[in-house]
Chain A
Amino acid sequence: MAMTEPHAAAMAPGLEPTPGDGISDVVEGRPLRVDAMKRFTRNKLAMAGLIFIFFLALVAIFAPLVAPYGFAEFAGESREAPSWNHLFGTDTTGRDIFSRVVYGARVSLKIGILTTVLTLIIGVTYGAVAGFFGGAADSLLMRITDIFLSIPYIVLAIAIATIFGRSENSIILVLGLTGWLAISRIVRSSFLGLKEQEYVEAAHAQGFKKSRVMFRHILPNAMQPIIVYGTVAIGGVILSEAALSFLGVGPQSPTPAWGLMVAEAGSGSLTSAPHMLFFPGFAIFLTVLAFVLIGDGLRDALDPKLK
């Protein structure tokens, strides 16, 4: 069976909508996503966030064209202040900070998006199973999340980084394995409510498999909080990545991770070379803010009560 993404069939080619045949007694109703799109585009802050992320993605994709130097290239003297040659100055080893921030967009977006995808896959499946089956299975699964919640993630991160070495993949693994708890709870509570709906009962009565009922009939109705959470989570992951890099758990030099750059600047640079701290820090700040703004915008746009 071709398992497609929930909405795929509705939009799949070959299912082209038949144009109205002159007699238009068809009540014009719009699917939620059309309304949501309208509300989202009216939200200026959210649009600003979206445009920023779009711009950042372009920068990341075309990093070699944008950056004047390589991210590991020794391009100048140590700790040069910003100038026309080095827009953001240079770091201790004389690498161009502007180039490193540009390449860093790749690292941050990659870590942010991949980690969030991982947390969503784990968290949504876990929460869906717990909420759908309920009862003893639910209690057991929720106790397991309680155990996970009580493990300090910094300790887990250091443990994983020790085993797998310091790299981007370790960071993704660490944040992925610790980040799915919140979303699993959100999905679980959505499922607990939605599984009582009559259309779910109808889906059972139509002889569909449990997995199909869960992921094709209930999940699409539970997407709103997942989308909102996922968007905000990308920002959160980028922030956590910075924190872990700062603690020395993240990727190793010369990887141009923003958090690592802040860490390398060290506390001493605050007075002597503040640009080393400021530019990567500001990149983190703007990116996280943009994702949070988009998430807020989506929350408002997808809430049918605000219609």
Chain B
Amino acid sequence: MTSVTDTAEARTIGPPTDDRVILSVQNLRTSFKTDAGLVKAVDGTSFDIKRGEVFAIVGESGSGKSVTAMSIMGLLPQPPAIIEGDGVFWKGRDLLKVSEDEMRKVRGGEIGMIFQDPLTALNPVHTVGRQIAEMGRIHENLSRKQARARAIEMLGLVGIPQPNSRVDNYPHEFSGGMRQRAMIAMAITCNPDLLIADEPTTALDVTVQAQVLEVLLRIKNEIDSAIMLITHDLGVVAGMADNVMVMYAGRQVEFGTVREIFYRTRHPYTLGLMASIPRLDTDEQDKLIPIRGAPPSMIKLPPGCSFNPRCDFAQDRCREEEPALRLVTGSSHLSACHFAEELEGADLRAVHDWSEP
């Protein structure tokens, strides 16, 4: 099991002492009982999210990104899921221990969630306005009229034209981008302190993606919330995130600020992710380098570092000893690679032409 106890920065277990930290996830472990065995979907993840920051979780499909979010929200049915950990501290409470009633207030009221596919995440039989209004009716006990007014206000806020008439439309009368805006409107209706956006742009046309991200960032500043951005799109990460956590096979493999992750990459998996996406600022001759192989079976992880069968730098030690997550550069840049220091100079420039964050 990976652990963060070996890190230079020894973590204290318990509610965060830094009052800028609104969410502190400590050694979260989520597994699923299946007929084939125990699947450790998230295996010892720890991170803090500070007020107002954009925290990105990056990884391939099945790396545990979404399960991390679902575990925090308490949305996984137990059984088959088994959620353990030293704590998920949210506003002074441990979400792993609160009652279902209290958890319901957190969901939607304090933490908003935006889903991947706006085509299926809106209920086809209710009008968009009704679905947004329901948030206010349930969480803030608004009257029907107030809730409707709030829905119109929210639709306007996310940039839906003519919100007064659009509020009575059904989801199928909205385009994909508009539906995702409506999802965002729904998630922010109760002024949450944290927005969890699970692949918010994956299902959208490229032309609409930027618009939706722009809305998301603007809203974040307007309602002063933090964003937990789950994505596999490093372009999105480079453009938006403050801190980045890279996950592979249910474990954290690298953690740092967006600059550290992009300019001082210290994990071969992160390097691979970056080399495998097209860039506009390189020569045409530069070929994309895919990460070879496929993600490992979650039931039978390879011994040692779980990335070793796909790693270009793998050595014997990687096949025998599991690397711990440890401080590699700066004050908070963590990597779970035995040879993190040797990756110096393997720097790849950012995929996104970005200026100072």
Q: Is B120 an interface residue (CB 8 A)?
A: yes
Q: Please determine whether B164 and A31 come into contact, CB atoms closer than 8 angstroms.
A: no
- Report Cα–Cα, A29/B121, bound state, in Å: 19
Interface string of A188-232 (1 = CB under 8 A from B): 000000000111011111111100100001001100000000000
Q: Please determine whether B108 and A206 come into contact, CB atoms closer than 8 angstroms.
A: yes
- Report Cα–Cα, A21/B161, bound state, in Å: 12
Other A-B contacts than A26-B166, A209-B104, A217-B126, 11 sampled, CB-CB below 8 A, are A10-B130, A14-B144, A14-B145, A18-B168, A23-B162, A26-B165, A198-B120, A199-B122, A205-B107, A207-B108, A221-B125
Report if A202-B115 is in contact (Cβ < 8 Å); known contacts: A27-B173, A220-B126: yes
- Report Cα–Cα, A164/B130, bound state, in Å: 46
Q: Please determine whether A26 and B162 come into contact, CB atoms closer than 8 angstroms.
A: yes
- Report Cα–Cα, A204/B130, bound state, in Å: 16
- Report Cα–Cα, A212/B124, bound state, in Å: 16
- Report Cα–Cα, A198/B120, bound state, in Å: 6
Which chain B residues numbered 112 to 128 have a C-beta less than 8 Å away from chain A? 113, 115-117, 120-127
Q: List 8 A-B contacts (CB under 8 A).
A: A7-B125, A9-B144, A26-B169, A198-B115, A205-B75, A206-B134, A208-B104, A208-B108
- Report Cα–Cα, A12/B126, bound state, in Å: 13
Q: Is A15 an interface residue (CB 8 A)?
A: yes
- Report Cα–Cα, A103/B66, bound state, in Å: 63
Q: Is A152 an interface residue (CB 8 A)?
A: no
| A-binding residues in B (CB < 8 A) | 73, 75, 103-109, 113, 115-117, 120-127, 130, 134-135, 138-139, 144-145, 148, 161-162, 164-170, 172-173, 175, 183, 186
Q: Is A20 an interface residue (CB 8 A)?
A: yes
- Report Cα–Cα, A198/B126, bound state, in Å: 15
Q: Is A268 an interface residue (CB 8 A)?
A: no
Residues of A contacting B107 with CB < 8 Å? 204-207
Using a Cβ–Cβ cut-off of 8 Å, how many residues does chain A contribute to the interface with B? 36
Residues of A contacting B103 with CB < 8 Å? 207
Query: Whole-angstrom distance from the CB of B354 to the nearest CB of chain A?
Result: 31
Residues of B contacting A23 with CB < 8 Å? 162
Q: Please determine whether A202 and B173 come into contact, CB atoms closer than 8 angstroms.
A: no
Residues of B contacting A203 with CB < 8 Å? 123
Report if A31-B170 is in contact (Cβ < 8 Å); known contacts: A205-B73, A205-B113, A207-B107: yes
- Report Cα–Cα, A214/B73, bound state, in Å: 19
- Report Cα–Cα, A7/B126, bound state, in Å: 8
